[in-house]
Amino acid sequence: METFSLTDKVQTEADKRKQDELKASGPIPEHIAVIMDGNGRWASKKGNVRVFGHKAGVESVRDITESCAQLGVRYLTLYAFSTENWGRPRSEINALIRLLVSTLRSEAKRLSENNIKLTTIGQTERFPEACRRELQNVIELTQNNDRMELCLALSYSGRWDLTDTFRRLSGKVASGDLKVEDIDEELISRNLSTSCMPDPDLIIRTSGEYRLSNFLLWQLAYSELYITRTFWPDFRRDGLYEAILSYQMRDRRYGKVDHSLKNGMSNFINHITS
């Protein structure tokens, strides 16, 4: 079965130059989240079953993980398996789980050697014991790595994340350990599954679909969106560079007015009222 390697490959001079230019052109996102979509359609276009697309998508995981680490991205979150995916045919689910287990088993050492920390978010308890064991082994092996954190969203959905958080906070209110008036946005953020990482700066969705698909609904409030029609198995580092370049060209105001625009409006208002 095909696996991926997270060992840094020998970069070409052209690729190194692209990365240097990208770093010089603006800020590199601290946290990138990716909705890896299009594996099944990619396989269908090639006359193969959907599982073939999932296997091919592993190479994109390798390349994007590697290039993010090289660029200095601190957190990379990949939407690997949603809660809705449990509704897919059992044969496809079993194939996805086997692919995950085999990849974790073969890449644990390489992840550690490349100083990449693996974490997960989601209802991983729904996976078979063998899968959970492999996940835990890699998590423990890489827990002290600090080059980049690779977070796999497994059996995850944004609504589950919020519902789970509200239930736990409600329990604290019922027990008297928390006052209702103390619940604010900061407290909710601290109790989400992503509490140990900043909200994503950039979210990338492949395959051209314009929706969030129940992914990080709270955390993506001010993330910059980048949609590409490229299917995930064909999305590689050049596509990542284009996404980051697009991000660098955005004016991230977080709902506020641009300072220069604000000054211009003030001058205009003063002029027409004088």
Active-site amino acid positions: 37, 85
- Residues written for the chain: 274
CB-CB contact of 146 with 44 (8 Å): no
CA-to-CA separations, 47 to 43, 241, 256, in angstroms, rounded:
6, 30, 49
What DSSP designation does 47 have?
T
**3-class secondary structure for 56-125?**
HHHHHHHHHHHHHHHHCCCEEEEEEEEHHHHHCCHHHHHHHHHHHHHHHHHHHHHHHHCCEEEEEECCHH
Q: How many CA atoms lie within 13 A of 41 on its CB side?
A: 12
What are 35's strand-pairing partners?
79, 205
What are 76's strand-pairing partners?
32, 150
What are 239's strand-pairing partners?
none
| Distance of alpha carbon 127 from alpha carbon 225, whole angstroms | 30
Q: Environment class of residue 189 by beta-carbon count within 10 Å: exposed (0-12), middle (13-18) or buried (19+)?
A: middle
195 phi/psi in degrees, rounded to 5: -60, -20
